[in-house]
Amino acid sequence: MMKNLSIILTVVGASALAVFPMTAPAQAKNRRIPDILKVPEGNVLLLRAHGRGTQKYACPVSATSNAVPHAILFHGGEGDLVSIHFGGPTWQALDGSSVVGDGPNAKHFTAPDPDGVDWLLLPAKSTAGNGLFSRVTFIQRLFTDGGKPPAEGCAPNQTEVLVEYSADYFFYTAVHK
């Protein structure tokens, strides 16, 4: 069942974000990360966040349709709001810093969940601002639930479909020696 989801974020005042040590992604969910999605040596985990939102598909849809994400990410899963995620693919932290993933050079792995969108390893294409995401080098999207385009396609006169999804996102930065 598809649900429409409207997300309105209001941020009042300045927010300071602290980055806390995280467990390794494989330990976080106790699942093996495929070799193709492993982050290259010389990078360390900066942030683990759980995202919830929608994948927006333009009609007509097929199994190979591309989606635009609309999601919010929470620190460590159930913690504080840390980021919004939208087309680009872009993640913007509450401090205003952002990172754009290099979608054409992303590595894909079919999600074990048949309804889950692919797991990804995205190199950072660009960053902006001076904050949490200003030095991100790689982003992993893992442990997805939902988000695939509906097999039944679009209803007559429907122009887009919003499909709920969730995923864990892992942001990495280069080790500074």
Residue 6: what residue type? Answer: S
Instruction: Pick left, alpha or beta for residue 129 (phi over 0 → left; psi -120 to 50 → alpha; otherwise beta).
Output: left
Which pLDDT does position 177 carry in this prediction?
62
Which pLDDT does position 62 carry in this prediction?
87
Note if the pTM is more than 0.85. no
pLDDT one-digit tens code per residue, 124-143: 999 999 999 999 999 999 99
Residue 47: what residue type? Answer: L
Which pLDDT does position 165 carry in this prediction?
98
DSSP-assigned letters across all residues of 147-164: BPPPTT-PPTT--EEEEE
Cis peptide before 89 (omega within 30 of 0): yes
Which pLDDT does position 3 carry in this prediction?
32
pLDDT digit of tens for each residue in the chain (177 aa)? 333 222 222 222 222 233 323 333 433 445 789 999 999 999 999 999 999 999 999 999 988 889 999 999 999 767 899 999 999 999 999 999 999 999 999 999 999 999 999 999 999 999 999 999 999 999 999 999 999 999 899 999 999 999 999 999 999 999 986
**Rounded-to-integer distance, Cα 165 and Cα 42, Å:** 31
Domain ranges of the chain: 41-174
| Token pair recorded at residue 142 | 């893992």
**Rounded-to-integer distance, Cα 143 and Cα 111, Å:** 7
